[in-house]
């Protein structure tokens, strides 16, 4: 993470960004965030990210000031210049900084907005993935919301890494393929591209949306056998771009040459060697 951040529109050192310990954000993780790819010094798909931030804020009852969100684009440009970011990523988080009404009589409302930048993530050229034992609840009020309470996703990906996989596919309570722990999932069978329907509880990722706009892709509700019988699997997110899978548990996949891999800017394809 880069040293300079923006907190409520003010330039600060990242160590100076503080939330009240009694805020709803600190006590319950009440807040939403998005990770934005930066290519050639410009945020990628920013309109999609801001639209999702608004939608997710409404979904959890977070009354963000519209004028503050409207300033995010200018503030992000300012921070990119301040940190001299060429190719990297940014995180925009909106926190409910209001005192928790369960622990305080203070009825005031306050929202904090934090913007930070960092270098690109180092991602293997191809991923070894597994099936996660942790299911997604598609009926949860947080289904499809990129909440700051991301611990369940972190525990799921850590469990996969403990078993020496890079990522894992998560199923919902009905056994339907939903997503990766930290990414959306696509797969190819013949010439047809597929991805889970939003009804499965998967996140409406901005990269997912961009792919749907540019490819003939069917949104489906299927079980894990469909992935095991696929020709190729891809994980996608703003943080990693589009990365093919080398393996799903014991099932190995041939290296893909699908044009999906050419969708994002060329410099995003710089990868670590696959182990």
What is the Cβ-side half-sphere exposure of residue 267, based on CA atoms within 13 angstroms?
10
**pTM attached to this predicted model:** 0.91
Query: Measuring CA to CA, which residue among 197, 198, 165, 193 is closest to residue 181?
Result: 165
Residue 48, C-beta contacts closer than 8 angstroms, at least 6 positions apart: 206, 209, 210
Question: What are the chain's domains?
Answer: 4-119 (3.30.470.10), 127-269 (3.20.10.10)
Query: Measuring CA to CA, which residue among 132, 194, 136, 195 is closest to residue 166?
Result: 132
pLDDT in tens, the chain (275 residues): 899 999 988 999 988 888 888 888 999 999 999 999 999 999 999 999 999 999 999 999 887 655 567 788 899 999 999 999 999 999 999 999 887 766 666 666 788 999 999 999 888 999 999 999 999 999 999 999 999 999 999 999 999 999 999 999 999 999 999 999 999 999 999 999 999 999 999 999 999 999 999 999 999 999 999 999 999 999 999 999 999 999 999 999 999 888 898 888 765 554 443 33
Cα separation, 150 vs 247, in Å, equals 26
pLDDT score at 41: 94
pLDDT score at 274: 39
Residue 214, C-beta contacts closer than 8 angstroms, at least 6 positions apart: 263
| Contact status, residue 205 vs residue 170, Cβ threshold 8 Å | no
pLDDT score at 121: 87
Cα separation, 182 vs 123, in Å, equals 13
DSSP labels for the chain? Answer: --SEEEETTEEEEGGG----TTBHHHHH--EEEEEEEEETTEETTHHHHHHHHHHHHHHTT----HHHHHTHHHHHHHHHHHTT-SSEEEEEEEEE-SBPTTT-------EEEEEEEEEPPP-BSSEEEEE-SSPB-TTSTTTT--BS--HHHHHHHHHHHHTT-SEEEEEBTTS-EEEESSSEEEEEETTEEEEE-GGGT----HHHHHHHHHS-EEEE---HHHHHT-SEEEEEETTTEEEEEEEETTEE-PPP--GGGGSS-GGGG--BPP-
pLDDT score at 102: 66
Query: Measuring CA to CA, which residue among 126, 163, 131 is closest to residue 253?
Result: 126
């Amino acid at each position: 993470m880069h040293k300079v951040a923006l907190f409520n529109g003010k330039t600060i050192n990242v160590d100076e960004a503080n939330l009240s310990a009694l805020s709803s954000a600190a006590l319950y993780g009440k807040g939403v965030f998005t990770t934005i790819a930066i290519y050639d010094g410009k945020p990628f798909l920013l309109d999609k990210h801001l639209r999702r931030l608004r939608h997710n804020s409404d979904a959890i009852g977070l009354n963000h000031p519209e004028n503050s969100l409207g300033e995010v684009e200018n503030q992000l440009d300012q921070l990119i210049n301040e940190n001299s970011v060429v190719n990297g990523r940014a995180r925009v988080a909106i926190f409910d900084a209001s005192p928790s009404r369960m622990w305080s009589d203070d009825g005031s409302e306050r929202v904090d907005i934090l913007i930070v930048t960092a270098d690109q993530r180092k991602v293997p050229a191809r991923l070894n993935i597994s099936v996660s034992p942790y299911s997604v609840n598609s009926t949860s009020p947080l289904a499809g919301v990129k909440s700051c309470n991301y611990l369940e996703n972190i525990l799921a990906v850590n469990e996969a890494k403990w078993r020496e996989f890079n990522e894992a596919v998560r199923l919902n309570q009905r056994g339907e393929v939903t997503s990766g722990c930290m990414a959306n999932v696509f797969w190819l069978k013949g010439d047809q591209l597929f991805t889970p329907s939003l009804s499965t509880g998967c996140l409406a990722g901005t990269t997912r949306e961009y792919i749907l706009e540019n490819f003939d892709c069917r949104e489906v509700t299927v079980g894990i056998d469909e992935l095991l019988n696929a020709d190729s699997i891809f994980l996608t997110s703003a943080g990693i771009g589009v990365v093919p899978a080398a393996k799903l548990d014991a099932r190995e996949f041939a290296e893909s040459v699908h044009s999906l891999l050419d969708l994002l800017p060329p410099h995003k394809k710089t990868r670590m060697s696959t182990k």
